[in-house]
Amino acid sequence: MVISTTAISQADESVNCTFASRYVKTSMPKFKMAEKSIPKDAAYQIISDELMLDGNPRLNLASFVTTWMEPECDELMMASVNKNYVDMDEYPVTTELQNRCVNMIAHLFNAPVGEDETAVGVGTVGSSEAIMLAGLAFKRKWQNKRKAEGKPVDKPNIVTGANVQVCWEKFARYFEVELKEVKLREGYYVMDPVKAVEMVDENTICVAAILGSTLTGEFEDVKTLNDLLTAKNKETGYDTPIHVDAASGGFIAPFLYPELEWDFRLPLVKSINVSGHKYGLVYAGVGWVVWRSKEDLPEELIFHINYLGADQPTFTLNFSKGSSQIIAQYYQFIRLGFEGYKNIMANCMENAQMLSKGLEKMGCFEILSKDVGVPLVAFALKDSSKHTVFEIAESLRRFGWIIPAYTMPPDAQEVAVLRVVIREDFSRSLAERLLSDFKKVMKEIEALPSRVSNKVAHVTATVDEIKGVDGAVHKKKSVKETQEGVARYWRRLVDDKKKTSGVC
């Protein structure tokens, strides 16, 4: 969504094209529908020209989202792009493929589903919708229990780490649930299960654990969380469950770390979401949420409609959506199988480790990501008193690389990080090229005068003691204090840009 924040100049009101000028002699309005039609060739060329300025998805290492699929799957997606997934009576095979995917995922996550039973779950537009649905199920179950006990239901809360994705904040705000966040700390960038359980009270509808933190790729300790929460539930009489946000790690852990207990093998895990468009290897637009059993999804949240030709149960936030991504997910499941997914994830992890070692050898970076987790590399400058990760990210764009620089959430907000996500289409040769470009950028940046000293002069004292205008003597800031000041400056800068850009 784009919110206009400035007046539009007359020069910006029209689109001027180059190649399409042989078809169109006048400029096209940008913000109003044109009065007359134009040739299809011209419309195509106008849009194609503008899209040339977008980044290359393959070089967008900020995103977890799949950017390559096999041509055969592309063809299947295009052949089904005109099917409305919600019309189950008209497209029963598509519905059947979705149900097969749900059952495959449930078994992958060790759901207690019998041979003759059907798993409980649904395909969604992405993990954001999946989390909304899971959150609503927890909230309704908690409300029903409280009402039966004659207790108030007006102050539900969720306990999670400060490292959660923004969709959890959206859920909390949209559906009026307090979000109780376990703060991070320097050197520990995931939710501490001990602190999380301490925050649980009678109004907690669930504790949300992250399998694959967006910040560092690290898996949170769901097993310890389950054990601690089990003990607290027994002691207090609570019945607080766990939801696992496995958006990034759900298609990693079963293949690379099969012995890791994080899923439905743990009794308190009642629902899990996963993104098909991340390491599920499908283009953007598909997520999944599965529940342990039918009892964990309140029946009153499921709607039954018949105006499309037959009785159809539905539990989604949106209604109409395309069938292509569902079909693509099924293609990947039967095409790759367990062996194929395992090989791809292992290859991604090898490339991540190769890149991590290469960056570490440069001597200027500290690696923050862990060996076990999502295949990505998160790293920080050892010394950011003269230059910052934001400068590095900006310089790498010159070579086409899109690499995010960001500060950590509270209480580790003084740490500024770069992150490279390794996807299936990021080859070893691309990793080698990225390392080469990193070396070029660092050599150039280190030869430049400090941008920090110009922009954040108040945190770059150069003498042991400075006499202020008030006559007081101030001690020179330590390297750590200087770096913290720099991180605060860049965080404010990024926040200000978000406020003024008008984009959300």
Q: What pLDDT digit, counting tens, does each position of 434-465 carry?
A: 999 999 999 999 998 887 655 444 333 333 44
> Phi, psi (5° rounding) for residue 417?
-135, 150
The pLDDT tens digits of the residues spanning 411-440 come to: 999 999 999 999 999 999 999 999 999 999
> In whole angstroms, what is the distance from residue 241 CA to residue 369 CA?
28
In the structure, what pLDDT confidence band is assigned to residue 366 with cuts at 50, 70 and 90?
very high
> Is beta strand 28-29 parallel, antiparallel or unpaired with respect to 14-15?
antiparallel
> In whole angstroms, what is the distance from residue 311 CA to residue 295 CA?
21
Q: Is the peptide bond before 411 cis (omega within 30 degrees of 0)?
A: yes
- Whether 276 shows a pLDDT value over 90: the answer reads yes
Compute the average pLDDT of residues 231-246. Answer: 98
Mean pLDDT check: name the lowest of 9-13, 154-158, 256-260, 296-300.
9-13
- 144 sits in which H/E element: helix 127-148
- Whether 498 shows a pLDDT value over 50: the answer reads no
In angstroms, what is the C-alpha Rg of the chain?
A: 25
Contact 232, 393 (CB under 8 A): no
Q: At what angle do helices 166-174 and 127-148 cross, to 10 degrees?
A: 40
Contact 43, 28 (CB under 8 A): no
In the structure, what pLDDT confidence band is assigned to residue 14 with cuts at 50, 70 and 90?
low
What's the per-residue H, E or C state across 55-93?
A: CCHHHECCCCCCCCCCHHHHHHHHHCCCCECCCCCCCHH
- Whether 289 shows a pLDDT value over 50: the answer reads yes
In the structure, what pLDDT confidence band is assigned to residue 304 with cuts at 50, 70 and 90?
confident
State the pLDDT at residue 457: 41
Which of 488, 467, 489 shows the shortest CA–CA distance to 476? Answer: 467
Mean pLDDT check: name the lowest of 256-265, 307-316, 378-387.
307-316
Using CB atoms within 10 Å of the CB of residue 490, give its burial: 0 to 12 exposed, 13 to 18 middle, 19+ buried. Answer: buried
- Whether 490 shows a pLDDT value over 60: the answer reads no
Mean pLDDT check: name the lowest of 20-24, 84-88, 110-114, 258-262.
20-24
In the structure, what pLDDT confidence band is assigned to residue 149 with cuts at 50, 70 and 90?
very high
> Is beta strand 287-291 parallel, antiparallel or unpaired with respect to 269-275?
antiparallel
> In whole angstroms, what is the distance from residue 145 CA to residue 156 CA?
12
The pLDDT tens digits of the residues spanning 53-97 come to: 898 999 999 999 999 999 999 999 999 999 988 777 788 899 899
**How long is the chain?**
504
State the pLDDT at residue 92: 86
Q: Tell me what percent of the chain is helix, strand and coil, each rounded to the nearest 5.
A: 40, 15, 40
Contact 380, 367 (CB under 8 A): no
The pLDDT tens digits of the residues spanning 185-235 come to: 999 999 999 999 999 999 999 999 999 999 999 999 999 999 999 999 999
State the pLDDT at residue 162: 96
Q: What is the mean pLDDT of the chain?
A: 87
The number of angstroms, rounded, from the C-alpha of 405 to the middle of its chain's C-alpha atoms is 15
Compute the average pLDDT of residues 19-28. Answer: 64
Q: Read off the amino acid at residue 267.
A: P
Compute the average pLDDT of residues 400-406. Answer: 96
Contact 351, 61 (CB under 8 A): no
Contact 335, 342 (CB under 8 A): no
> In whole angstroms, what is the distance from residue 356 CA to residue 358 CA?
5
Compute the average pLDDT of residues 291-314. Answer: 80
Q: What predicted TM-score, i.e. pTM, was given to this entire model?
A: 0.86
